[in-house]
Every structure is written in structure tokens, then in C-alpha cells.
Structure 1
Amino acid sequence: MSKRKIVLAFSGGLDTSYALVSLREQGWEVLTANIDTGGLHSGEADAVRKRAEELGSARHFVIDAREELYSRVITYAIKANYLRNGGYPSCVGAERLVQAEKVVQAALDNGADAVAHGSTGAGADHVRYDSVIRALAPQLEIITPIRDERLTREYERDYLLERGFQTPDKITTYSINEGLIGTTIGGKETYGSWDYLPEDAWTYTRSIADAPDDGVELILGFDKGEVVSASTVDGQPIEGTGADAPNYAILRALNVLAAEHGVGRGIHMGSTMVGNLARVGFEAPGMLTLIAAHRELERLVLSNRQQATKAQLGTAYGDLLHEAVYYDPILDDYRAFLDSSQRRVTGDVRIKLIKGNVIPLGSRSPYSLLDAATRQGVVYGYGSSLWTGDQARAFAHMYAIPGAIAKNVE
């Protein structure tokens, strides 16, 4: 009788390493799928493959999902200026949609009976994976050793060690997930609300103390809300970008460049889907840079009402995506609104990256509302040819009346 077949979403970290060995010992034929959403650097795909083969994977797949992730998820996160609770760009969490879809497809293509992932039951990723699997392939069994057995990372390390498999100390101490949007870091300091991650826990961003004193100036170009160019002030494209580069190249390049200037570190604390508070460290230099620049351009070309409405709907859209509401038709409605809102978000933004800060220095656009006002003779703080002094006095008088009436009720 042939073994039952299962596809495991495999990153090579501690949880998925334990899951692979445990499932194999339970009698499963385990196929491993490593979904690249931006977390694999030079040589890392081979390292993950070797790890999977060492642990007994019957067959290993590397599936490149970066372009799809960028087009379907990241572009809309930037259009929405989405930051969870005002500060966290949903690193990795928003990527689980595409990762889970690719794992399901691998399972269907290879005649698997089940899908497995290494998520715990204490976070949100297990909900994200399960939501996709239930929607796309309800016939597949979902196996989750870490969630079901409620294991500690120390137990998993010792389990692997007893079978002759070494585990680096850092991945035992910290759970690290990296993708295009950014990297999350969870460990002992993030289990409470007081301690900050030590310097050696961060993966690729420089500390502010070690960042260059002078910083760097860049010009980011946008077309209908999507970043299309990134160059130095003298017009040279930043390294890793250009006409033949993939759609995610600018974000990838900014993850490197902004990280060198100390941009992108933070610790996010907020409510999970089930209502408890959670805390996690993150590094997202590229996304924080792009969102800051995009927001600055919107201030130049969108009306106040557009910006206010978009802030509400953009947050609602991002929260749904973060909370694994992937397939509700309301998301299509939000995306239609976001696309419409970006019709005039075209132009350039000049920014400076220095000592952990992203500082917008200026913006320009053919749809500039500031330029349109200037052409009609309105210059803030200077004067206007569109109204007289008497008209301005009358406006101020009428504008003050509701407040004056309310104050006199007291």
C-alpha cells in the first residue's frame, strides 16, 4: 500500500524542519514547497533545498511568487498607504495569501491528500493558511503539528538533535520570517511589552548609530500610484533597478539601500484576530520609504476629502487583508476605489534617508493642486487675486459664527 502524500509549506526554519521529520516518521510521503516571496537571497534557495533533503523530503519545490505578490498585494498596500495601527506594514502576514495559494496548487498538481504548515496556534498565520486551503481545496486535509501539539521551540530543537539534525542557535531563540514587504522577528523580548530586541536579533538593518552621517537623497517616480523609478538626484538609477528589472525591483533595492541608513526597524503591538495582544519586531525599510513618498505625492494632487476618505477605506482594506479575509468580494470594491483614487497620483518625490528617518524634501506633478492655485494667483501666506480683503474679512466673520454660538451657550 502506497504512503499518503502531503505537501508541506517549508521555509527551512525550526518549525517546518520539525514538521517535516515528524510527518515523515508518522508515515507520510512528504513533499516540501518553498514559496519565494522575497525572502530568498543568493544561495539561500539551495540551502533550503539541502535542508529539506537532509530531513527526508521526497521531493522539493521552489516556487517564485514575487511578481504575483507585488502585483496583487504590495501595489495596493502602497496605494492604500497601509500601516497596521498606523505603523506596521503587515510584513509577511499579507504575503501568506500568495504563499498558501501556491502550496495548495502544488498539492493539487502532485495528487496530495493533505497540506501541512508550521504555524503555531498562538498567532494569525495558521488562520491565514487555513482560510486559503478551505476556500480553494476543501477536500485536502490540513495537518499542523506545531499548532496541534503545542510545542515549544526548545522541544523542537531537542527532537531534531536527537535524530542527528543540528539547528542554529538564532533560529531557536527567534522566529524570523522574511519577504519583500519586510521581516518579522519574534522571540523572548517580544513576549512582553517592555523589552526591546537586542542588536544581534535584527537581520539586515543598520542601527541608527552605525548609519552614515550624511544620508542619501533619492527621487522616486510614480505613475498612477505605482512606483516606476528610483534614482539618485543626479539621475542615476539605484542599483538593482532599471528597464529590464522585475516589477518588484525598486522595493527590493530600497530594502537594501534604506536598511543601510537605519530605516525600517520597529516593534508592532496590536490585537490579533482572536482579540489578544501580540508584539513582534519588524524590519521594512523599502515599504516604509515607498509609503512615505507616496503619501507625500498624494498630499500634492488629491483633495482633502479624497485623502480623508482614502485613509479610512485604505485602512479597512489593509486590515481585512491582514486578517485573512482574502476572498470576500468587498476587497474587489476596495481595490476599484483605490485604483480610481490614483488617477492623478503621478509625479516625483524627492526624499532623504538619514539616520533611520525618511524625510520628504519636495514633490512635483503635472496634477499639482498647489501649482494650479498659484496659476490663479493664490499663494499661501502671501496673497490672492481671487478675493479681496473685504471678502476675506466676510468669510472669516461667517466662519466664526457657529463656534461663537456654541461657546455662548455655556
Structure 2
Amino acid sequence: MSKRKIVLAFSGGLDTSYALVSLREQGWEVLTANIDTGGLHSGEGDVVRARAEELGSARHFVIDAREELYARVVTYAIKANYLRNGGYPSCVGAERLVQAEKVVQCALDNGADAVAHGSTGAGADHVRYDSVIRALAPQLEIITPIRDERLTREFERDFLRQHGFETSDKVTTYSINEGLIGTSIGGKETYGSWDYLPEEAWESTRSIKDAPEDGVELILAFDKGEVTSATTLDGAPIEGTGPGTPNYAILRALNVLAAEHGVGRGIHMGSTMVGNLARVGFEAPGMLTLIAAHRELERLTLSNRQQATKLQLGNTYGDLLHEAVYYDPILDDFRAFLDSSQARVTGEVRVRLQKGNVIPLGSRSPYSLLDAATRQGVVYGYGSSLWTGEQARAFAHMYAIPGAIAKNAGPQDK
């Protein structure tokens, strides 16, 4: 009788390493799938493959999902200017949709009986994975050793060592997940609300103290809300980009460059989808740079009503995606609105990256509302040929009336 077959979403980290060995011991034929959503750098895919084979994977798959992730998730996060609770770009959480879908497809393609992932029951990732699996392949069994056995990272480390597999102590101190959008970092300091992560916990970003004093200026070009290039002021593409570079590669290059200037560090604290408060460190240098630039271009090209409506709907869309509401048709409605809102968000933004800050210095666009006003003789703080002083006085008089009425409502003192 052949073994039952299972596909494990495998990152090479502590949790999935434990899961691979544990599932083999339970009699499963374990296939491993490493979904590249931007967390694999030069040579790292080979390292993960070697780890999977060392731990006993029957077959290992590496699936490149970076372009799909950008097109389906990152593009709309930027169009929405989405930052969870105003600050967190949903670093790895938003990537789980694509990762889980690829793992399910791998399981179906290889005739697997089940899917496994290394999520704990304490965070939101287990809900994200399960939501996709239940929607796309309800016939597949879901096996989650870390969640079901409620294991500590120290136990997992010792288990692997007892089975003859070398395991670093660092993996028990911090749980690190890296992707195209950013990196999440969890550890003892994030279990409470007071302590900040120490310098050694950060993966890619320089401290503000060690970042270059002078910073760097860039020009980011957008077409209908999508970044098309990142260059220096003299027009040279930043390292890692060039003509024909896909969007995801521009984000990846900005992750490197902005990290050198201390951009992107933060600790997010907010309610999870199950209601408890959680805290996690993150690094998202490229994403925070793009959102800051994109927002600045929208200020030049969108009306106040467009911006206000986008703020509300964009946050709702991002929250639903973060909370694993992946397949509700309302998300298609949100995306249609976001696409429509970007019709005029075309142009360039000049930004400075300096000592942890993203500073928009200027913007220009063929759809500039500021230029349109200037052509009609309206210059803020200087004057206007569209109205007279008498008309301005009349407007101010009429505008003040509702406030004056409200102020004087109610019984009057005698």
C-alpha cells in the first residue's frame, strides 16, 4: 500500500522544518513547495531546497509567484495607499493568498491527499491558509502540526537536533518572514507593548544612526497609479532596474536602496481578525517609499472628494484582504473603483530618502490640478483673475453663516 501524499508549504524555517520531519514520522510522503513571493535572494532558493532534501522531502518545488503577487496584491495596495491602522503595509500577511493558492495547485497537480502549513494558532496566517484551501479544494485534508500540537520554538529546535539536524539558536529567538512587500519580525520584545526590537533583530534596514547623512534623491514615475521607473535625478535607473524592468523588480530594488537609508522600520500593534491585540516588527522600505510617492501624486491629480472616498474604501479593501476575505465578490468591486480612480494618476514624484524618512520634494503631471488652476489665473496666496475682491468678500460672508447660526443656537444670555 502506497503512502498517503501531502504537500507542505515549506520556507526552510523552524516551523516548516519541524513539520516536514514530523509528518514523515507519521508515515506521510511529503512533497515540499517553496513559493517565492520575494523572500528568496541570490542562492537562497538552493539553500531552502537543500534543507528540504536534507530533512527528507520526497520532491521539492520552487514556484515563482512574484509577478502574480505584484499584479494581484501589491498593485492595489499602492493604489489604495493601504497601511493597516495607518502605519503597517501588511507585509507578509497579504502574500498568503498567492502562496496558499500555489500550494493548493501543487497538491492538485501531484495527486496529494492533503496540504500542510507551519502556521501557529496564535496568529492570522493559519486562517489565511485554511480560507484558501477550503475555497479551492475542500476535499484536501489540512494538517497543521504547529497549530494542533501547540509547540514552543524551543521544543521544535530540540526535536530537530535530536533527529540529527543542525538548527541555529537564533530561530528560537525571532520568527522572521520575508517577502516582496516587506519582512515581519516577531520575538520576545513584541510579546509586550513596551520593548523595542534590538538592532540584531532587524534583517535589512540600517539604523537611523548608521544611515548616510546626505541621503539620496530619486524620481519615481507612475502611469495610472502603477510605478514604471525609479531613477536618480540625472535619469540613471537605480541599481537593479532598467528599461523593461517589471514592477515587482522596481519594488525589490527600492527595498534594498531605501533600507540603506534607514527607511522602513516599524512596530505595528493592532487587533487581529479574532479580536486579540498583537504586536509585530516590520521592515518595508520599498513599499513605504512607493506609497508616500503615490499619495503625493494623488494630491496633485485627484479632487478632494476622490481622495476622501479613496481613503475610506481603500482602507476597507486593505483590511478585508489582510483579514483573509479573499473571495467575496465585494473585492472585485473595490478593485474596479481603485482602477477607475487612477485614470489621471500619471506623472513623476521627486523624493528624498534620508535618515529613515521618505520626503516628497515635488511632483508633476499632465493632469496637474495645480497647473490647471494656474492657467486660469488662480495662484494660491497671490491672487486670482477668476473672481473679484467683492466676490471673495461675498463668499466669505456666506460661508460663515452656518457656523454663526450654530454658535448662536440655544438660549441666549441676557
Gaps of 5+ in 1: none
Q: Deviations over 1:97-147 (max 9, x none)?
A: 000000000000000000000000000000000000000000000000000
Deviation larger for 168-177 or 116-125? 168-177
Deviation at 1:408, TM superposition (A): 1.1
Moved more, 238-247 or 285-294: 238-247
| CA displacement at 1:404 relative to structure 2 | 0.7
TM-score normalised by length of structure 1: 0.99
Measured in 2, the distance between the counterparts of 1:213 and 1:32 equals 45
Supply the distance in 2 between the matched residues of 1:350 and 1:247 (Cα, whole angstroms).
Answer: 18
**1:340 and 2:340 equivalent?**
yes
1:390–1:244 distance in 2 versus 1, CA, 3 Å: closer
Give 1:243 deviation, angstroms. Answer: 1.9
Deviation of 1:168 after TM superposition, in Å, equals 1.5
Structure 1 residue 269, shift from structure 2 partner: 0.3
Deviation at 1:172, TM superposition (A): 1.4
SS in 2 for 1:243: coil
The Cα offsets for residues 143-163 of structure 1, whole Å up to 9 and x where unpaired, read as 000000000001111111111
**What does residue 263 of structure 1 align with?**
263
Partner SS state of residue 247, structure 2 = coil
* Cα distance per residue 1:67-86 (max 9 Å; x no partner): 00001110000000000000
* 1:331 Cα deviation after fit: 0.4
Q: In the TM superposition, what is the alpha-carbon distance from 1:167 to its structure 2 partner?
A: 1.2
Asked if 1 retains the 8 angstrom alpha-carbon contact of 2:227 and 2:247, the reply is no
Give how far 1:319 is off: 0.4
C-alpha offsets along residues 253-296 of structure 1, whole Å, 9 cap, x if unaligned?
Answer: 00000000000000000000100000000000000000000000
1:167-246 matched pairs, under 5 angstroms: 167-246=167-246
> What displacement does 1:247 show?
2.8
How far apart are the structure 2 equivalents of 1:250 and 1:239? 9
Match of 1:404 in 2: 404
Q: Is the 8 A contact 2:5 2:28 kept in 1?
A: yes
Alignment coverage as a number of residue pairs: 410
Q: Which residue pairs with 1:108 in the alignment?
A: 108
In the alignment, the residues of structure 2 paired with residue 360 and residue 159 of structure 1 have an alpha-carbon distance, to the nearest angstrom, of: 50
- Map Cα deviations across residues 26-65 of structure 1 (whole Å, 9 max, x no partner): 0000000000000001111010001001111010000000
Residue 205 of structure 1 aligns to a residue whose secondary structure is coil
1:315-355 CA-to-partner distances (Å, cap 9, x unmatched) read 01000000000000000000000000000000000000000
| Cα deviation digits, residues 235-255 of structure 1 (max 9, x gap) | 101111112323311100000
Query: Could you tell me how far apart the structure 2 residues matched to 1:239 and 1:319 are?
Result: 33
User: How much does 1:177 deviate?
Assistant: 0.3
Deviation at 1:170, TM superposition (A): 1.6
Secondary structure of residue in 2 paired with 1:291? helix
CA contact (8 A) 2:84 2:319 kept: yes
**Between the two proteins, what is the percent identity of the paired residues?**
90
Q: Secondary structure at the match of 1:222?
A: strand
Aligned-residue offset at 1:189: 0.4
In the alignment, the residues of structure 2 paired with residue 245 and residue 352 of structure 1 have an alpha-carbon distance, to the nearest angstrom, of: 22
Partner of 2:12 in structure 1?
Answer: 12
**Aligned equivalents of 2:42, 2:334: Cα separation in 1:** 37
Deviation, 1:166, is 1.5
Aligned partners of 1:403 and 1:261: how far apart in 2? 47
Q: For residues 12 and 172 of structure 2, what CA distance do their matches in structure 1 show? A: 12
Distance (whole Å) between structure 2 residues aligned to residue 346 and residue 52 of structure 1? 45
Counterpart CA distance in 2 for 1:406 and 1:96 is: 51
How far is the alpha carbon of 1:169 from its aligned partner? 1.8
Q: Deviations over 1:374-402 (max 9, x none)?
A: 00000000000000001100100110111
Give the CA deviation at 1:372: 0.3
Please give the alpha-carbon distance, in whole angstroms, between the structure 2 residues aligned to 1:156 and 1:338: 44
Q: Which runs of 5+ in 2 are unaligned?
A: none
Cα drift, residue 211 of structure 1? 0.2
Q: Distance in 2 between matches of 1:63 and 1:254?
A: 23
Q: Give the Cα–Cα distance (whole angstroms) in 2 for the partners of residues 92 and 24 of structure 1.
A: 28
2-side partners of 1:270 and 1:16: how far apart? 26
CA contact (8 A) 2:82 2:89 kept: yes
SS at match of 1:248: helix
For the residues of structure 2 that align with 1:249 and 1:123, how far apart are their CA atoms? 29
3-state SS in 2 of match to 1:393: helix
Partner of 1:117: 117
Contact 2:78–2:291 at 8 Å: present in 1 too?
Answer: yes
Give, in whole Å, the separation in 2 of the partners of 1:104 and 1:243: 35
Counterpart-to-counterpart distance in 1, 2:247 and 2:183: 20
